[in-house]
Amino acid sequence: MTQNQKSHFNGYAADECARLWRTCWAADRANAVHHWIGVATLAEIEDFAALLVEQRWRTIARVAEALAARGELSGAELDRLR
């Protein structure tokens, strides 16, 4: 998957993605790799994550929109958005 394809999923411009990968996303990625090490290659993990995002994109978008509007959501509200 190219960087351009990855940017499609998150809606950030390429320069903003680069900054996020150097900061907060790097920690998330390192944590995921720590838990998956020995189970799958990094490429397999990235492919699996991309597939999950693609499959669940409509739900992700609904939750993001609700969070942007309300600032926080309860568990019940999250369940309704699924």
Least confident of 11-15, 20-24, 36-40, 76-80: 11-15
Q: How confident is the model over 52-68, as a mean pLDDT?
A: 90
Distance, in Å, from the CA atom of 71 to the CA atom of 41, rounded to the nearest integer, reads 36
- Greatest alpha-carbon span in the chain: 41
What pTM, to 2 d.p., does this model score? Answer: 0.54
| Rounded CA separation 74/81 (Å) | 11
Residue 76 tokens read as 């019940």
